[in-house]
Every structure is written in C-alpha cells, then in structure tokens.
A and B are shown apart, each in its own frame.
Chain A
Amino acid sequence: MSLADAVAEHVHDGDTVALEGFTHLIPFAAGHEIIRQGRRNLTVVRMTPDVIYDQMVGMGAVERMVFSYGGNPGVGSLHRMRDAVENGWPQALELVEHSHAGLANAYVAGASRLPFAALRGYAGTDLEHGGAVAFVECPFTGQRLSAVRAINPDVTVIHAQHADREGNVMLWGIAGVQKEAVLAAERAIVTVEDVVDELEPRPHAIVLPSWVITAVCHVPNGAWPSYAHDYSKRDNRFYAEWDEIARDRDRFRAWMDEHVMAAERVEGTA
C-alpha cells in the first residue's frame, strides 16, 4: 500500500496518533505525509516528541501532545514546541506530561488492555498534579504506588527495517516502545526499508505478525534524519541544523514548504 493511501485511509482529523521510535527508527516520512494531507486537531503521543512532532506542531496539525521528554536530543530545545506553548503559535498546544517510566508503562497497560499500570515514582512531584497520574494502594502489601492511565492510540505508526511479502514485520537495534505502541493501538501503519522474501532471525529483533498490523508501506530511508540500524546513520548534523531552522518561524515554514509540502507523495508499495 502506498504511504499516502495508508495515511488517507487510517489517520483522521482528531485522532490520537502515536509515531514511536526512541531516537532510532522514527517514522519521519509518515509524519511528513500526515502534514502534507493537512490533518488537524490530532492528539499526538510520543515519549520523545523529537524533530518530527516539532514539525507537526509547527505546521498546525496538533491540538494536544502526550509526551515525556520534549527536547532535541543532544542539541537543546524544540523551538516549534516552545513557540506553541509559550506564545500559542501557530495555535495553542495542550500538554499531557509524563516521565519516561510513566509513559512507557501507559503503553504497556494499553498493549495489555488493562486500564492502568503501577510504578514507583512521581510521588511528591508537580507531575502528579497534571491529571496523568493517580495513586493506588497495593492490595497485597498496602504500599502506595503511582498509577498511570493506559494509552490506546487510534493509530500507531512505526518504521522498521524489514517486512516479508505476507506483511510480517521485523525491526532490530534500539527497540524503544514500538511493540507496545503497536499492540496498544486500534490500527497500526508500518513503513519499512525493505520488503524481503523471508525474515531472517537476528539478535535483539522484534517480530510483529501481519495480523496485528493494518498497513505496511515500503518507504526506504523513511526514518531520516533519525536512522535505521544496519541501513543508515543518525544524521546528527541535521539535528544540530534543525536548532537554527526551527528557531525562526519564517525559516521553519520555508524549510517545510521546500522539503515536505512540495515533495512528491511517497508511493511506496508492499
């Protein structure tokens, strides 16, 4: 299926959308397609919003963001996210904040179809007042633990290295929280580097069978400027450049117009 068709069919205005990938395998091409198709009022979920949500926020696709670390990893701020929060540009952005442990466990609960997950942490912090966290008493020991509400996205989008011709997916390298985000979602779109005849066993690989995935799209280099282990290197230079591009509204818009809006629809097949 082409990425354009997959996004048109499965990502709707107002949906809760999770584009996951922890520094590695971030589905940038899919995020760009969502922007190109002009989706609005999305609730976007990601542990590390990274440059992809900075772009989606700056282009006005996002109403609400659920996240746990909103920085440009190794560089500094996400300026489009900051501009939306600090100045409401291009529109106000509602934030739902977690810690990494909290959001990771919210996906685990979602994947398990449980209403919440329990963990230790959050107590005494101001994060506990944001509505994302409550406290429960352990029925066995009486310990007070923090609880996070499950996250079940309408659609999760990830990038992986391989799919076979039946649509089974394999990814390897830093695993992040993609498996949980896919299994927590109603629908899942996967972009892949390669379509292969057979998935070969590999160390640290995760396999997602075709019957938990809604659409597979062949999109080589679909994680740039993030990377796909054994296919590409993280474009650290671009992440540093993004700091300059995103600092200025006009420069940001010009970059997006040239590199995203004017780009060809991604017509991958699988």
Chain B
Amino acid sequence: MSESRNGAATPEERMTVAAAREVKDRQVLLVGVGPPNAAANLARRLQAPDAVLIYESGAIEAKPARLPLSIGDDDLAETAAELVSVPEMFNYWIGAGRIDIGFLGAAQLDRHANINTTVIGSYEHPKVRLPGAGGAPEIAANSREVIVLLRQSKRSFVEKLDFTTSIGYGDGAGARERLGFRGAGPTVVITDLGILKPSPDDAELELAAIHDGVTLGEVREATGWALRVREPLETIPPPTERELETLREMRAAVRSAA
C-alpha cells in the first residue's frame, strides 16, 4: 500500500474519502472501528466540523483529538459531552432512532445489502469464525440511513450470505416495513471500486458510480451476482490533496501513539 505523502490514493483511502464526503454538517453519526471511524473523523476535519460523533461505548458528541484505535479509548470519554451506559446507548439513543447515519462494515454483502459479520461457511462448522453482531443489527434497523463500507470482491459480494447478521433490504422492497424497522436502510454502499445504491423499485443494489481509474469490467468481476448498472454511470472524483493529507496525518498520529 502506498503511504508516501504525495503518493496516489490507495483503494482503501479512496473508499474512506468517498464515505467522508457523504456526511453533511451537523448530522449525527454512529461510528464503529476501522474505516467508518476514519471516514467520520475525516468528515469532521473537512466539510462537517459540527457532525456529532456517537460511539457505541457510550460517548455522545465525542471530539477525539486523534483517531481512536478502539471505541473504548479514554480520549472518547474525556471529550464526550455525555457518557452513557451501554444499555442506555442502545435503548435511548440507537434504538430510539436518534442516529442520522449508522456506518457499518461487512464480511459478506448480498444484492439487497444484507450483512454477514458472523461466520464464513456453516454456522456449526465454520471455515472462518468472525467477531459476530456487535451493535450492527439494531444500528441497521433503527438508524435513519446506513452507509456500508467494505472491500469489493467475489468473496465479499455474494449471491447468498452464509449467515444473515444484519438486515439491509431483506428479500427486497417492503421487507423493512414488514419487519417493523424504522430507518431507511443502507442508502449507500461504498467500496474500493465504486458506490452502489438501492433501486427505488425493488431495493436491489445498482452500481451508481465508480472510482476514477476503475473499469466497469473490474467491478463486475468483483461481484458475485449479475450486477445492475445505472445510466449514466458516474465517476467519483479522486481524493483531493487536502482530503488525502488530512486522512494520512490522522493515521500517522495513531501509529506514533500506538
């Protein structure tokens, strides 16, 4: 992975920057570890200085000076406007629907943006045991919108999930309403190759944009189902110098602190 100060953006950096751009100022963001954490904190340093960061460890309106390594870092507790217990976080804040954007990752994703973070292979005898649900099922159910971030490949974009951990659009249009979920679901799926959005008709994901320099063939090749493509297909502008520098400075500060 290129890390030089002026080097071209890596696929992961393109993905993180594209996610950060989705955030509007003053939105309430539920942030987990990994790329979502980087994206939310990047947005706060760029176009959304007053975005509200909520970490499921209980920190509400956290303003971390450096990128936290885990959601339980003391920096989050120190800088939070309010610190609540885990039951309160999930009942009064996440469950009650106070989150504008919930960021989620996935090991596997299907065409209706349902998410697996539990096992690869069978549940009883898994090939790979993954961490499991964490906060994701209720974040997926109750946030006003969900943004999913993951690397795109035939292994991650699958025809059928090995395990359904969190619901995107279930079996298609109307499923969320039938399940009693209030939020809109995953309105955007951002990968290292492009951006997918659900069809307004049947909630199947469609490729809406690709990163600069990525070909449609590459995206199809990295998708485990026959991918629908929107017309016209947009190109995502590459990260600006400012976006990339800010992201790299944030990451370098974490490394030097670790």
Contacts and interface: CB of A to CB of B under 8 A. Distances in A.
A70 B132 contact: yes
A180 B135 CA distance: 18
A125 to B, nearest CB: 5
A177 B87 contact: yes
A184 B194 CA distance: 47
A175 B134 contact: no
What is the predominant secondary structure among interface residues of chain B facing chain A? Answer: loop
A81 B132 CA distance: 12
Nearest to A206: B85
Interface size class of A (residues with CB under 8 A): 35 or more
Contacts, number: 174
B137 interface: yes
Contacts of B175: 124
Given A124-B167, A125-B165, A108 B87 contact: yes
A20 B100 CA distance: 30
B2 to A, nearest CB: 22
B138 A101 contact: yes
Nearest to A122: B137
Interface of B: 33, 56-59, 69-74, 76-77, 83-87, 89-91, 94-95, 118, 123, 125-138, 141-142, 163-167, 170, 175, 179-182, 257-258
Contact of B135 (A100, A105, A240): A100
Contacts of B133: 68-69, 97-100, 127
14 contacts: A73-B72, A97-B132, A99-B136, A100-B86, A104-B89, A120-B182, A126-B165, A127-B137, A127-B165, A173-B77, A177-B86, A179-B85, A204-B77, A227-B74
Given A100-B56, A174-B57, A174-B77, A125 B167 contact: yes
Interface stretch (A10-18, A231-239, A254-262): A231-239
